[in-house]
Chains A and B, each alone.
Chain A
Amino acid sequence: MRHVIGWLLLTPAAILLIAFTYWPIGATVADSLFSRGNPIRPSRFIGLENYALMADDPIFWQVLWNNALFALGTIPASITLALLMALMVNRALPGRALARMAFFTPTILPMIAVANIWLFFYTPDIGLIDQIAGLVGLPGHNWLGDPDTVLGAIIVMTVWKEAGFFMIFYLAALQTIPPELWEAARLEGAARWTYFRRILFPLLMPTTLFVLINAILNSFKLVDHLFILTKGGPDNASNLLLYYIFETAFSFFDTTYAATLTVVLLALLAVLSLVQYGVLDKRIHYR
């Protein structure tokens, strides 16, 4: 009886999960083994040919590389800033609530709105950055139009958006650390930096690992800003994997190749989730 009721309760959710998660995962893998169809030549089974095509596709390697750079650029910076912010607002200070709010607010804005705001900062000559640079006599620069600076510009914006989100996890962790630890360390004559490096930072390690995994996942899922800022350009210098999948499917209408690219993204996410479940056990102690 309990088996029947259990499954009955689960059925509505299960149908939707199958329709929009498991079935599409399977279909993605299957589709990646077929050729792109057109009215004259229908799609046919071609084995791993799409994967061979992908291995020879310089744009694929570039977006993968860009994803790596994007992750390397955003993650250490936003985690460091998040920790700094948490330490700053974890002590008593006038205006503490306001400071916390200032750090956290970018988190609840949609990425599209953030991109709209930052687009103007980066606009050549008339944009805010160039205007300020102009005051000290620096020449204007096309931040988003130059392949050498475009990814950096996007990284800075993403750090602004994400640091406050990670801060709240550090804040929560800091509040579980007894103040006596610092008292004891001080009695032993430890400097603050030593206390941080030898005691606080190791204690925060589970939080850091957890934030790290989430940050990596985000770096693969977050592409909204590209629609406003660069469309992946110039010349794919800011293109990311998920955006390339979108372009391939909905601008170039090559759904089977898009499926092949999606398989790569799925594989990356699968590896990350395995790592996360490994990490999960280690953070139990502070919950």
Chain B
Amino acid sequence: MSPRGALETGATWLLALLWISPLLYALWAAFHPAEFAVTFDPLAPLTLENFREALARAPFPRYMLNTFILVTMLLAAQFVLCTLAAYAFARYRFKGADIAFALVLVQLMIAPEILIVENYATLAHLGLVDTILGIGLPYMASAFGIFLLRQAFKSTPKELEEAARLEGCGTLGVLWRVYVPLARPTYLAYGLVSVSHHWNNFLWPLVVTNSVETRPLTVGLGVFGAPESGVDWSVVSAATLLSVAPLMLAFLLFQRQFVQSFMRAGIR
């Protein structure tokens, strides 16, 4: 390698190390006793005490269950609603389709959390404040999902649909047997983006929830980590790692899919 190449490689490594260091630091703090939080002694004893303490102070398993229920329910609803709407836009040239589609795209810009004041009022009318359904409901008809699936359905050969019709499939049968299976990569990409977005979402769940039974991880962590709670740093680190661990593990296992999905999500 040329000296210049070696220099560039070194610079890359240095920047990468700098970039990951806040996370490495959180790992360090979480697995060492509090007195080693800023003393980097390689011989410092490892401990799980911070995790035990975090779990004793706040019901993180319950929060995790809430988040899990939220993202699963939401994703299932999004798949159904967005599939139906996307199919309508892709294959039925119905009256008003163009205007309706333009209106759908508005939601790409104006996410439900921008309208917290009115959406909270709506939820109160429906009696859904402080429910997991209430956190998910505004996001179920996702403009982004409709958009992605419409593109996927549009690229499906029409001949396949005609063949299925000849075999006696109805509208939903064609959708289920032809379009959905062929759009599998799109469902995967959208699913990863949706799950990670809602796993991490904070503002809207914060407004909607006020009890342990409904609070997702981010809100639980927000309550836990607030400086006025007086919990020491190593325990906050442990709690933070607990909250991000499932998504982080998924990311490490399926890195390529994650990066590609995020990219598709960006380039709309």
Chain A residues within 8 Å of B, Cβ to Cβ: 2-7, 9-10, 12-17, 19-25, 27-28, 31, 84-85, 88-89, 91, 93-95, 98-99, 101-113, 115-121, 123, 126, 128, 131, 160, 164-165, 168-169, 172, 210, 214, 217, 221, 223-224, 227-228, 242, 245-246, 249-250, 255, 258-259, 262, 265-266, 269-270, 272-273, 287
Is the beta-carbon distance between B9 and A20 smaller than 8 angstroms? no
Asked whether B140 is an interface residue with its Cβ less than 8 Å from the other chain, the reply is yes
In order of increasing CB-CB distance, the 4 nearest A-B pairs are A6-B94, A6-B92, A24-B118, A110-B200
Is the beta-carbon distance between B19 and A25 smaller than 8 angstroms? no
Asked whether B97 is an interface residue with its Cβ less than 8 Å from the other chain, the reply is yes
Is the beta-carbon distance between A121 and B22 smaller than 8 angstroms? yes
Q: Which residues of A contact B262 (CB under 8 A)?
A: 107, 165, 168
Cβ 8 A contact of B19, one of A118, A160, A258: A160
Is the beta-carbon distance between A24 and B122 smaller than 8 angstroms? yes
A-B contact pairs, 29 of them (CB 8 A): A2-B92, A6-B93, A9-B85, A12-B84, A13-B82, A13-B85, A13-B104, A13-B146, A14-B141, A16-B138, A17-B141, A20-B119, A21-B106, A27-B121, A93-B5, A93-B9, A102-B17, A105-B251, A108-B251, A109-B23, A110-B199, A112-B222, A113-B244, A119-B227, A120-B233, A210-B266, A214-B266, A249-B117, A272-B109
Asked whether B236 is an interface residue with its Cβ less than 8 Å from the other chain, the reply is yes
Asked whether B257 is an interface residue with its Cβ less than 8 Å from the other chain, the reply is no
CB distance from A77 to the nearest CB of B (A): 14
Given contacts A88-B11, A168-B259, whether A221 and B97 have CB atoms under 8 Å apart is no
Given contacts A5-B171, A169-B266, whether A110 and B88 have CB atoms under 8 Å apart is no
Is the beta-carbon distance between B85 and A249 smaller than 8 angstroms? no
A93→B252 CA distance, assembly (Å)? 21
Asked whether B162 is an interface residue with its Cβ less than 8 Å from the other chain, the reply is no
CB distance from A82 to the nearest CB of B (A): 12
Is the beta-carbon distance between A227 and B206 smaller than 8 angstroms? yes
Is the beta-carbon distance between A246 and B82 smaller than 8 angstroms? no
Cβ 8 A contact of A269, one of B109, B112, B218: B109
Asked whether B43 is an interface residue with its Cβ less than 8 Å from the other chain, the reply is no
Given contacts A20-B122, A24-B118, A255-B117, whether A94 and B9 have CB atoms under 8 Å apart is yes
B29, closest chain A residue (CB): A120
Is the beta-carbon distance between A112 and B137 smaller than 8 angstroms? no
Query: How does the 8 Å CB contact mask read for B188-214 relative to A, with 1 for contact and 0 for none?
Result: 000000001001111100110000000
Asked whether B166 is an interface residue with its Cβ less than 8 Å from the other chain, the reply is no
Given contacts A93-B8, A112-B218, whether A221 and B111 have CB atoms under 8 Å apart is yes
Asked whether B133 is an interface residue with its Cβ less than 8 Å from the other chain, the reply is no
CB distance from A157 to the nearest CB of B (A): 9
Is the beta-carbon distance between B109 and A270 smaller than 8 angstroms? yes
Is the beta-carbon distance between B103 and A98 smaller than 8 angstroms? no
Is the beta-carbon distance between A227 and B87 smaller than 8 angstroms? no
A231→B103 CA distance, assembly (Å)? 35
Cβ 8 A contact of B222, one of A172, A227, A287: A227
Q: Which residues of A contact B248 (CB under 8 A)?
A: 105, 108-109
Q: Which residues of A contact B247 (CB under 8 A)?
A: 108
A94→B267 CA distance, assembly (Å)? 29
Asked whether B56 is an interface residue with its Cβ less than 8 Å from the other chain, the reply is no
A120, A131, A287: most-surrounded residue (chain B CB, <10 A): A120
A161→B156 CA distance, assembly (Å)? 37
Q: Which residues of B contact A13 (CB under 8 A)?
A: 81-82, 84-85, 104, 141, 146
CB distance from B242 to the nearest CB of A (A): 10
CB distance from A257 to the nearest CB of B (A): 10
CB distance from B60 to the nearest CB of A (A): 13
Q: Which residues of B contact A224 (CB under 8 A)?
A: 202-203, 218, 222
Given contacts A13-B82, A16-B141, whether A25 and B94 have CB atoms under 8 Å apart is no
Is the beta-carbon distance between B100 and A10 smaller than 8 angstroms? yes
B268, closest chain A residue (CB): A280
Is the beta-carbon distance between B25 and A128 smaller than 8 angstroms? yes
Q: Which residues of A contact B252 (CB under 8 A)?
A: 101
Is the beta-carbon distance between B81 and A249 smaller than 8 angstroms? no
CB distance from B216 to the nearest CB of A (A): 10
Is the beta-carbon distance between A110 and B244 smaller than 8 angstroms? yes
A12, A28, A116, A224: most-surrounded residue (chain B CB, <10 A): A116
A16, closest chain B residue (CB): B141
Query: How does the 8 Å CB contact mask read for B21-43 relative to A, with 1 for contact and 0 for none?
Result: 01101100100000001100000
Cβ 8 A contact of A117, one of B104, B106, B240: B240
Asked whether B253 is an interface residue with its Cβ less than 8 Å from the other chain, the reply is no
B100, B112, B141, B201: most-surrounded residue (chain A CB, <10 A): B141
Given contacts A10-B84, A20-B137, A27-B118, whether A105 and B20 have CB atoms under 8 Å apart is yes
A119→B204 CA distance, assembly (Å)? 22
CB distance from A114 to the nearest CB of B (A): 8
Q: Which residues of B contact A7 (CB under 8 A)?
A: 88, 94
